[in-house]
Amino acid sequence: MLRVVKILAVLIAMTAVAAFAGYRYWESRLEAPIAVEEETLYEVPSGAGYHRVVADLASRGMLQDEWAFRLLTRIEPESVPRLRAGEYMLEPDMSGRELLELLGSDRVVTYPLTIPEGWTFRQMRAHLDAAPKLEKRTSDLSNEEIMALLEREGRHPEGWFFPDTYRYHKGMSDVDILRQALTRMERILEEVWEQRSDDLPFETPYEALIMASLIERETGAPEERREIAGVFKRRLERGMRLQTDPTVIYGMGERYAGRITRADLREATPYNTYTIDGLPPTPIALPGRASLEAAVDPLPGDTLYFVSRGDGTHHFSRSLREHNNAVNRYIRNR
């Protein structure tokens, strides 16, 4: 009897050792590096389950031991991640376990989309339409339909989308980007308006947005924004027309071909500040924060005119005579 007990003990010990060795071998297969020699983009399709993804990875040769990952659902079901749809970047040195952890995380591949300051809403729409892997839900919609979709029905879209670099992943749509840019502009405009000067020649945040768009289109030199805002402020206070060329260009729409003529300056459009008093009816571009801040905090002074030097900066003048001399120097001679 004692001999039988010893034999059983030996058999149990051998079985335990074999089981432990088998378990360790199985674990080693899970921890082995995946068969990827360089960064590789992999997409988990929407609705794909764990076994389907494991089979797909094995069929592509990325996982060498499919059985080990299938066995995971039986031995350690609590460690089986719930996979998330999206694109992921697989690294050559990651293990099978790390791969599964990645596919269950929110570390999806994202793509940048930059909306420059000074662009129009039309340019922004074209950029969204050209963005790769971004679902297009607004391509066939009118501007009015887009604003209704964004729950801003009846609002003119120009100026209301904050220019910046946004990131998106596959599965997101142009509506997601538009909503982000819209809510950000609304928040920043509210913040800037709270810090406004007391003596502005306009009374609403929307008018500040319009003014900021004029500043944005007039200069790319950061140090000039407040001075240009000051010129516009003084002209409005004195009942002078703003006479800013970007409003002429905006009013021309798609007819603009790179230059404006004297006839264009005389053409009566709702936006031509050579023919209308005060601000145009809507913004003419997407202003950045610096232009918004300049619009509500103009630089004090006595200049009433400015003309481009041709190098991205402007010559500012106090009198019409000085301004005409600057025009001759920088425009007509050039």
Q: Tell me: the pLDDT tens digits for 259-309?
A: 888 999 999 999 999 999 999 999 999 999 999 999 999 999 999 999 988
Rounded Cα distance between 212 and 287, Å, is 6
Q: What is the dihedral of CA 205, 298, 161, 286, to 10 degrees?
A: 130
The b-or-e profile of 119-141 (16+ CB within 10 A means b, else e) is bbbeebbebbeebeebeeebeee
Contact of 292 with 186, CB cutoff 8 Å: no
Q: What is the pLDDT of residues 220-266, one digit of tens each?
A: 889 999 999 999 999 999 999 999 999 999 999 889 888 888 999 99
State both tokens at 282.
């809507």
Residue showing tokens 């031995």: 75
Contact of 297 with 227, CB cutoff 8 Å: no
* Chain centroid, CA 319 distance in Å: 43
pTM of the prediction?
0.86
For the four alpha carbons of 61, 62, 65 and 68, in that order, the dihedral sign comes to: negative
Q: Are strands 86-90 and 110-114 parallel, antiparallel or unpaired?
A: unpaired
Rounded Cα distance between 160 and 183, Å, is 9
Helices (H) and strands (E) in the chain, counts: 13, 6
Q: What is the pLDDT of residues 6-34, one digit of tens each?
A: 555 545 555 554 544 555 665 667 787 87
